[in-house]
Amino acid sequence: MKIGTVHFNIILLLAGLLTGCSSLSGDKKELSTIELHLESSPDDPAFSEPVPIYRAHPAYVNVSRLAFLDERDLEQAAVVDWMGGFAIQLVFNEHGQLVLENTTRSNPSHRIAVLAGFGESRWLAAPLVNRPITDGQFTFTPDATREEAERIVRGLTNTIAQLKK
């Protein structure tokens, strides 16, 4: 199996961030990762896979194996009050905003599956996006407790700070 060197180097960087590698940080802060994957056709299993969304009653959504956005394009993350509950709001930088807008404009009525790494790796949501997201903000209700959502956001905030160094 061939893995591109760029992809491999990103994996090494993220592994270092997740383990709190001393060469990347002086202390062992909580770190998190996040990936957005576009819903795709199951026609080619080499490029897509079904993933479970919602732990209590999993619904499988077929998504691209490659993320179209991740924490490298995040400006900030927050837990926000949302419709009587809470949600995670991701705010992307200029590049991330452009990618998010182009992806949602080119793929109307597709789901965006969210994979988070925060000590464990878990699919958190797959909201259906019916219109282009033009403001660079992606807000979703996660399959997580509020404490888990706060842990994910805290880790993303630390990861963003580490990546900016």
Residue 91, classified by CB atoms within 10 Å of its CB into exposed (0-12), middle (13-18) or buried (19+), is middle
Among candidates 163, 140, 15, which has minimal Cα distance to 75? 163
* pLDDT for the residue 82: 87
Q: Which of 24-38, 39-53, 59-73, 144-158 has the lowest mean pLDDT?
A: 24-38
Average pLDDT over residues 64-85: 96
* pLDDT for the residue 44: 85
- Within a 13 Å sphere around the CA of 109, how many CA atoms are in the beta-carbon half? 0
* pLDDT for the residue 64: 97
* pLDDT for the residue 141: 97
CA–CA separation, 149 and 106 (whole Å):
29
* pLDDT for the residue 75: 98
Report DSSP state, residue 33: E
CA–CA separation, 98 and 24 (whole Å):
29
Close Cβ partners of 34 (under 8 Å, ≥ 6 residues apart): 70, 71, 74, 77, 90, 114, 115, 116, 117, 152, 156
pTM: 0.83
- DSSP class per residue in 47-96: TEEEEEE-SSS-EEEEEESS-SEEGGGEEEEEEEEETTEEEEEEEE-HHH
2-32: pLDDT as tens digits: 444 444 445 444 555 444 443 444 446 899 9
* pLDDT for the residue 28: 65
* pLDDT for the residue 29: 84
99-140: pLDDT as tens digits: 999 999 999 999 999 999 999 999 999 999 999 999 999 999
